[in-house]
Every structure is written in C-alpha cells, then in structure tokens.
C-alpha cells in the first residue's frame, strides 16, 4: 500500500476570513466559492475554523468569531493521511488546518480530500455487465460506477419508474 501524506491531499490556499468580518456575508462567499469550511485568522494567527452551514444561521451583523466553536485542531503537512483521518474522528471535525514545521498555515484538509486521495491510482475496469455478465461495451457514468451493457441499460430504463424521490429502484428489496 502506498503511504499518502497530508501535503499530497490537502487543499492549498484555503479561503481565509477575519474574525471580525460579517458572518452572513461570509456564508454567501463560501457558498459562491463552493467551500464548506472557512479558516479564521486575525491576519497572522490561526483562530479557528467555521462551517458554512453554521454561518448560514447568522443574522443582524453577527461576526465570524461568534461561530468558532473551539480551538482549532491542526495537523502538520508531513503527517500521514491515516493520522489525519484518525484525528478527525477523535475530535469529530470535518476539516483540519494544515501547518508547516514553522507553524504557518499552508492548507486545509477535509474528509473529502482524504476520501479522494484514498481512491486507487487507477480505478479497476469492470470486466462485464453487472446485470447479464456480457463483456460488450459498457456504459458508465464515471470510472468508479458499476457498468452495464447498452442492452441491459435500455431494458432497465424501459421497465422501471422513478420512486417518489426521483430515484430508479433496481431489485425492489425491503
């Protein structure tokens, strides 16, 4: 198994905000940038991490600092990913600010970063249709999806209806 390190999986240049910035505006900024966590600093020092979902509750000029729940749990960039995952589980956090050996912020590591970096280097190719076992050309949404041949996929689409949530149910288990 290949050892993977935080520095290889982390997001460099995380979105940083000031503790005295408007929380409602920062929730909107996080949503527009597509990030779930913002790193809070005083311009020099790391103060904490706030989640976009928490900031979404902000009203009436609330400041970002009001949404910092605890001192930041950090990890060094040369730590192993396994250590980072364990740390996230122990502290029940979804993201870790990443520091270099001098203690300076160099990135952020999220659970998503850990999951993505834990995928195999090259996904295994399906060898046959998941429904009929035929080795014909397979249709897949992405490299990690289950493969179906065109005939099985067409047959399934013609014979099933979406459930109330819009999902197509195959198999009909309990």
φ and ψ at residue 55, rounded to 5 degrees? -65, -25
Q: Which residues contact 140 (CB under 8 A, 6 or more apart)?
A: 126, 146, 147, 148
Span 119-144, pLDDT tens digits: 554 455 556 777 777 765 665 555 55
**Is 17 found in the same domain as 84?**
yes
**What is the residue whose two structure tokens read 């020099």?**
44
**Is 50 found in the same domain as 91?**
yes
Q: Mean pLDDT check: name the lowest of 29-33, 37-41, 95-99, 120-124.
A: 120-124
**Is 99 found in the same domain as 146?**
no
**Is 101 found in the same domain as 135?**
no
pLDDT of residue 126: 53
Q: What percent of the chain has pLDDT over 70?
A: 75
Q: Does some domain include residue 33?
A: yes
Is the separation of the CB atoms in 7 and 78 below 8 Å? yes
Strands (E), the chain: 11-12, 16-18, 37-41, 46-51, 75-76, 95-99, 105-110, 138-139, 148-149
- How far, in Å, CA of 66 to CA of 75, rounded? 24
User: Mean pLDDT across the stretch 9-29?
Assistant: 91
**Is 100 found in the same domain as 81?**
yes
**Is 20 found in the same domain as 41?**
yes
Q: Which residues contact 20 (CB under 8 A, 6 or more apart)?
A: 63, 64, 65
**Is 27 found in the same domain as 110?**
yes
pLDDT of residue 164: 56
CATH at 48: 3.10.580.10
**Is 135 found in the same domain as 109?**
no
**Is 87 found in the same domain as 128?**
no
User: Mean pLDDT across the stretch 68-83?
Assistant: 91
Mean pLDDT of the chain: 80
Identify which has the larger pLDDT, 96 or 151.
96
**What is the residue whose two structure tokens read 């900024």?**
29
Is the separation of the CB atoms in 19 and 40 below 8 Å? yes
Q: Does some domain include residue 1?
A: no
Considering only the C-alpha atoms of the chain, give the largest distance between any 2 of them, rounded to a whole number of Å: 61
Q: Residue 65 is part of which domain span? A: 6-118
**Is 154 found in the same domain as 86?**
no
- How far, in Å, CA of 94 to CA of 52, rounded? 12
Identify which has the larger pLDDT, 134 or 165.
134
User: Mean pLDDT across the stretch 44-50?
Assistant: 89
pLDDT at residue 168 tops 60? no
Q: Does some domain include residue 133?
A: yes
pLDDT of residue 48: 92
**Is 137 found in the same domain as 68?**
no
């Amino acid at each position: 198994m290949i050892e993977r390190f935080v520095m290889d999986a982390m997001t460099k240049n995380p979105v940083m905000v000031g503790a005295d910035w408007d929380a409602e505006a920062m929730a909107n900024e996080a949503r527009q940038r597509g990030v779930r966590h913002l790193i809070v600093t005083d311009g020099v020092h790391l103060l904490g991490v706030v989640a976009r979902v928490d900031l979404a509750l902000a009203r009436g000029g609330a400041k970002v600092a009001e949404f910092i729940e605890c001192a930041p749990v950090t990890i060094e960039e040369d730590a192993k990913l396994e250590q980072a995952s364990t740390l996230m589980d122990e502290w029940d956090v979804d993201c870790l600010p990443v520091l270099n050996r001098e203690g300076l912020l160099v990135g952020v590591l999220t659970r998503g970063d850990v999951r993505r970096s834990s995928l195999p280097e090259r996904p295994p190719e399906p060898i046959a249709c998941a429904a009929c076992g035929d080795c014909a050309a397979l249709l897949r949404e992405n490299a990690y999806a289950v493969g179906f041949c065109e005939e099985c996929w067409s047959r399934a689409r013609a014979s099933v209806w979406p459930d109330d949530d819009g999902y197509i149910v195959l198999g009909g288990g309990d």
